[in-house]
Structure 1
Amino acid sequence: MAEQGTTSPPRRRGRPPKGEAGDTKAALERAALGLFAKHGYAGTSIRAIARGVGLSESVLYAHFPSKRAVFEAVLSRYGPHGAAAVIDGLDPALAADDPAGFVRALVSAVMELWDTSDARLFMSLMARDGLTHDPSIVTDIDASVHRLAEVIDGWRAAGQVRDGLGDSDDLAWALLAPVGQTRVVYLHGDAAPERRRVAVERALRHAEFFVRTVLR
């Protein structure tokens, strides 16, 4: 315990500690996400983003060189790359031993990830600013499809996939595309709980359809 009458040393000026800087950057990205989703890229200013977390523009510029850099950070943090991350986060033994269980777990986890408030705001941003064809979005989607195709290649080698259904990329797309469509249609920022429930149910039914039609 500090002795009475002592004071803590003054905080050094300059860059904030690494952990604090990371927290500030994440807070700025989240504030920007909400503003971009509501007002669009053109309608959102650097000042508004900074004020959204009670900071000055100079503090924002310590983390991002421009508004475009903030926008790209938002795309990177909240974009569709989540499906690939979910695949990598699932137990590899599940993929090897129980392909049907893997498909169900994958779709459930992806829908849980996409039904967060931030993920739904991102869908509103995509709709407002027409980001469906943005190169970074397309790259992330392709990465998820190719990552799942690698898993399906293992199922093929083990004789767990029906014959004559196309290559592994085709099958990965066949699983992920309808699931992604439920996100686009249902999981936006203003989605009511009932619509969100429908999205999850549709995605899970599609997972069961995939299991019945593709897996042995």
Structure 2
Amino acid sequence: MNRTDDGAPARRRPGRPRKAQAGNTKEELTRAAVRLFSRYGFEGTSIRAIAREVGLSESVLYAHFENKRAIFDAVIARYGPQDSARALDGVDHELADTDPPQFLTQLVGAFLDDWDRDEARTLISLVTRAGLLHSESLRAALTGTSDYATTLFSTWLGDGWIPEHLGPADRLAYSFTGPIGLARVLHLHADADSAERAQARSDVLRHVELFAAAVFRDHGERP
């Protein structure tokens, strides 16, 4: 990548990207959008501004996105709750069958790592400042996360890891994910310093520990 004299990535001149760069164009536009949306708000950011942020013409942008709402949807898909599924790659999935409390600890730890990325924290600032918390794309992403947690608890209830009277699974999922999601919104945003983020991580992992101790039979031993 070409760089300026101060070492910063150089913006491309407007126009269609070279073939070798085309595969990265949509990603670059998405990254530019989340920066500009956070800085100026969704309504205050134009299609032209997003294109120019990465040195492209509007026609190139429209080859990837139909409109500004489609760009926002891509931002949610890339940096929102559903994209955190990428964090699952570093989790030992066998623990879900052999040690559910440890699986949850690994899972949430991986999510926290993912949420601490600059773009992910910028997204939180964006949706809170721009009044987009109730957007359909964010709602769909959150529903996907909730459904995944519900599936986990349903399996553990069925396998006897969790006493039946503590169900149903969707209530367990809601009780488990609620404080975690709140911590993300309140403390893992673009303006949070390292101390605040470290405290949030500690609080969330403590919540996971206490939840597991209260819910899993014999602290994770199958009866």
TM-score band (shorter)?
Answer: 0.7 to 0.9
Report if aligned partners of 1:37, 1:122 keep a CA contact under 8 Å in 2: yes
1:140/1:215 Cα in 2 relative to 1: closer, same or farther (>3 Å)?
same
**Residue 188 of structure 2 is aligned to residue 198 of structure 1:** no
Alpha-carbon shift at residue 67 of structure 1 (Å): 2.0
**Structure 2 unaligned spans of 5+:** 1-15, 218-223
For the 8 Å contact 1:87–1:147, the answer to whether it is kept is no
- CA deviations 1:2-42 (Å, max 9, x no partner) are xxxxxxxxxxxx8864x632301100110010000110111
Change (3 A) 1:98 1:191: same
Aligned partner of 1:118 in structure 2 is 119
Deviations 1:73-103 (Å, cap 9, x if unpaired)? 1122122214555458633311000111111
Give the superposition deviation at 1:212: 0.6
- Aligned-residue CA RMSD (Å): 1.9
Alignment check: 8 A CA contact 1:123 1:188 kept: yes
Of residues 143-152 and 194-203 in structure 1, the stretch that sits farther from structure 2 once superposed is 143-152
- Structure 1: any 5+ residue segments left out of the alignment? 1-13
Matched residue SS, 1:190: coil
In 2: Cα distance, 1:143 partner to 1:126 partner: 18
The amino acid across from 2:167 in the alignment is G
Show the counterpart of 1:141: 142
The one-letter code of the counterpart of 1:153 is: S
1:172 corresponding residue in structure 2? 173
- Identical-residue share of aligned pairs (%): 44
Larger deviation: 83-92 or 101-110? 83-92
1 CA distance for matches of 2:48 and 2:81?
28
1:204: how far off? 0.4
Question: Equivalents in 1 of 2:51, 2:83: separation in Å?
Answer: 27
**Which SS does the other structure have where 1:131 is aligned?**
coil
1:148 deviates by 1.8
| Pair 196,127 (structure 1): closer, same or farther in 2 beyond 3 Å | same
Task: Flag the 1:56–1:82 CA change in 2: closer, same or farther, 3 A.
Answer: closer
Cross-structure match for 1:94: 95
Structure 2 distance, partners of 1:196, 1:135, is 28
Deviation at 1:143, TM superposition (A): 1.5
Contact kept in structure 2, 1:84 and 1:147, CA below 8 Å: no
Once residues 83 and 74 of structure 1 are traced to their aligned partners in structure 2, the CA distance between those partners, rounded to angstroms, is 13
CA deviation digits over 1:163-192, x for unaligned, max 9? 422311111111111111100000111111
TM-score with structure 2 length normalisation? 0.83
- Look up the SS of the partner of 1:63 in the other structure: coil
Tell me if the contact between 1:84 and 1:148 (Cα under 8 Å) persists in the aligned partners. no
Distance, in Å, in 2 between the alignment partners of 1:76 and 1:158 is: 33
In the alignment, residue 69 of structure 2 is paired with which amino acid?
A: R
CA positional deviation for 1:114: 0.6
**Contact 1:28/1:49 (<8 A) preserved:** yes
State the AA in 2 paired with 1:44: T
Q: Which has the larger radius of gyration?
A: 1
Count of aligned positions: 202
Given that 1:149 and 1:171 are in contact with CA atoms closer than 8 Å, whether structure 2 keeps it comes out as yes
What does the per-residue CA deviation read over 1:97-123, in whole Å, with 9 as the maximum and x for residues that have no partner?
Answer: 011111101110111111100000000
Q: Would you say the 8 A contact 2:121–2:189 is kept in 1?
A: yes
- In structure 2, distance between residues paired with 1:89 and 1:154: 21
